[in-house]
Amino acid sequence: MKKVTIVGLSLLLLVACGKQSSSNQSGVQEGGTPPALTGTYASIDANIFQPLCYRCHTGTNPAGGDDFSNYPSLLTSYDIVSGNPEQSQLYIDVKNGVMPKGGPALSAVQVQAIYDWIKNGLPQH
Protein backbone atom coordinates (compact mmCIF):
# COMPACT_ATOMS: atom_id res chain seq x y z
CA MET A 1 0.00 0.00 0.00
CA LYS A 2 2.77 2.38 0.99
CA LYS A 3 4.79 1.45 -2.07
CA VAL A 4 1.88 2.15 -4.37
CA THR A 5 1.45 5.64 -2.91
CA ILE A 6 5.13 6.44 -3.45
CA VAL A 7 5.06 5.22 -7.04
CA GLY A 8 1.91 7.24 -7.62
CA LEU A 9 3.50 10.35 -6.15
CA SER A 10 6.64 10.08 -8.26
CA LEU A 11 4.49 9.58 -11.34
CA LEU A 12 2.60 12.74 -10.43
CA LEU A 13 5.87 14.64 -9.97
CA LEU A 14 7.14 13.40 -13.32
CA VAL A 15 4.00 14.56 -15.05
CA ALA A 16 4.13 17.93 -13.30
CA CYS A 17 7.78 18.49 -14.23
CA GLY A 18 7.18 17.43 -17.80
CA LYS A 19 4.33 19.89 -18.09
CA GLN A 20 6.37 22.73 -16.61
CA SER A 21 9.35 22.31 -18.90
CA SER A 22 7.24 22.01 -22.01
CA SER A 23 5.28 25.19 -21.26
CA ASN A 24 8.43 27.08 -20.26
CA GLN A 25 9.50 28.07 -23.75
CA SER A 26 11.92 30.96 -23.57
CA GLY A 27 10.53 33.80 -25.65
CA VAL A 28 12.82 36.38 -27.21
CA GLN A 29 12.46 39.76 -25.49
CA GLU A 30 11.20 42.46 -27.77
CA GLY A 31 12.48 46.03 -27.56
CA GLY A 32 12.79 48.06 -24.35
CA THR A 33 16.33 46.84 -23.66
CA PRO A 34 18.73 49.76 -23.17
CA PRO A 35 21.99 49.56 -25.12
CA ALA A 36 24.85 47.90 -23.27
CA LEU A 37 26.90 50.28 -21.14
CA THR A 38 30.02 51.25 -23.06
CA GLY A 39 32.19 54.36 -23.21
CA THR A 40 30.16 56.29 -25.79
CA TYR A 41 27.87 59.27 -25.37
CA ALA A 42 24.89 57.36 -26.78
CA SER A 43 25.31 54.55 -24.27
CA ILE A 44 26.14 56.72 -21.25
CA ASP A 45 23.28 59.07 -22.09
CA ALA A 46 20.75 56.21 -22.21
CA ASN A 47 22.09 54.33 -19.19
CA ILE A 48 23.25 57.13 -16.86
CA PHE A 49 22.46 60.71 -17.88
CA GLN A 50 18.80 60.20 -18.81
CA PRO A 51 17.72 58.16 -15.77
CA LEU A 52 19.99 59.80 -13.18
CA CYS A 53 20.98 63.34 -14.26
CA TYR A 54 18.40 64.75 -16.69
CA ARG A 55 15.91 65.90 -14.07
CA CYS A 56 18.44 68.46 -12.82
CA HIS A 57 20.82 68.84 -15.78
CA THR A 58 18.57 69.74 -18.72
CA GLY A 59 16.48 72.72 -19.79
CA THR A 60 17.18 76.44 -20.03
CA ASN A 61 18.82 76.73 -16.61
CA PRO A 62 20.47 73.37 -15.95
CA ALA A 63 22.15 72.73 -12.60
CA GLY A 64 25.76 73.84 -12.60
CA GLY A 65 25.34 75.10 -16.19
CA ASP A 66 25.67 71.52 -17.42
CA ASP A 67 23.05 70.32 -19.90
CA PHE A 68 23.80 66.62 -20.43
CA SER A 69 21.18 66.22 -23.17
CA ASN A 70 23.20 68.51 -25.44
CA TYR A 71 26.08 66.53 -26.92
CA PRO A 72 27.74 69.45 -28.81
CA SER A 73 27.87 71.66 -25.71
CA LEU A 74 29.28 68.81 -23.65
CA LEU A 75 32.25 68.66 -25.99
CA THR A 76 33.28 72.18 -24.98
CA SER A 77 32.07 72.07 -21.38
CA TYR A 78 34.70 73.17 -18.89
CA ASP A 79 33.56 70.27 -16.72
CA ILE A 80 34.78 67.76 -19.28
CA VAL A 81 38.35 67.84 -20.55
CA SER A 82 38.48 65.57 -23.56
CA GLY A 83 41.12 62.87 -23.11
CA ASN A 84 41.70 63.75 -19.47
CA PRO A 85 39.21 62.26 -16.98
CA GLU A 86 41.25 63.25 -13.93
CA GLN A 87 40.90 66.92 -14.94
CA SER A 88 37.18 66.57 -15.69
CA GLN A 89 34.81 67.73 -12.95
CA LEU A 90 32.16 65.37 -14.29
CA TYR A 91 34.37 62.34 -13.74
CA ILE A 92 35.67 63.61 -10.39
CA ASP A 93 32.12 64.20 -9.12
CA VAL A 94 30.74 60.79 -10.07
CA LYS A 95 33.88 59.03 -8.84
CA ASN A 96 33.59 60.72 -5.45
CA GLY A 97 29.83 60.23 -5.24
CA VAL A 98 29.16 64.01 -5.21
CA MET A 99 26.88 63.44 -8.22
CA PRO A 100 24.14 62.43 -8.73
CA LYS A 101 23.23 64.91 -6.02
CA GLY A 102 20.99 63.40 -3.37
CA GLY A 103 21.10 59.93 -4.92
CA PRO A 104 23.19 56.81 -4.48
CA ALA A 105 26.66 56.96 -6.05
CA LEU A 106 27.23 55.40 -9.45
CA SER A 107 28.52 51.83 -9.58
CA ALA A 108 32.18 51.15 -10.39
CA VAL A 109 31.12 49.94 -13.85
CA GLN A 110 29.23 53.18 -14.52
CA VAL A 111 32.14 55.32 -13.33
CA GLN A 112 34.49 53.30 -15.53
CA ALA A 113 32.29 53.87 -18.61
CA ILE A 114 32.45 57.64 -18.02
CA TYR A 115 36.21 57.39 -17.54
CA ASP A 116 36.62 55.50 -20.83
CA TRP A 117 34.35 57.92 -22.67
CA ILE A 118 36.35 61.00 -21.61
CA LYS A 119 39.70 59.23 -22.04
CA ASN A 120 38.83 58.23 -25.60
CA GLY A 121 37.92 61.78 -26.65
CA LEU A 122 34.14 61.73 -26.00
CA PRO A 123 33.00 59.51 -28.88
CA GLN A 124 29.32 60.00 -29.67
CA HIS A 125 28.60 56.41 -30.79
Q: Residue 80 burial (CB < 10 Å; 0-12/13-18/19+)?
A: buried
The CB-side HSE value for 71 (13 A sphere, CA atoms) comes to: 13
Q: Judged by CB under 6 A, does residue 52 bind ligand HEC?
A: yes
Shortest distance, position 66 Cβ to ligand HEC, whole Å: 5
Shortest distance, position 56 Cβ to ligand HEC, whole Å: 3
Distance between CA atoms of residues 42 and 39, nearest Å? 9
The amino acid at 12: L
Concatenated DSSP letters for 63-103? Answer: GGG--TT-HHHHHH-TT--TT-GGG-HHHHHHHTT--STTS
Region binding ligand HEC by CB under 6 A among candidate stretches 1-9, 11-19, 38-46, 97-105: 97-105
Which member of 102, 108, 109, 125 binds ligand HEC (CB under 6 A)? 102
Which member of 67, 85, 93, 122 binds ligand HEC (CB under 6 A)? 93
Q: Which is nearer to ligand HEC, 8 or 97 (CB)?
A: 97
Which member of 43, 74, 85, 100 binds ligand HEC (CB under 6 A)? 100
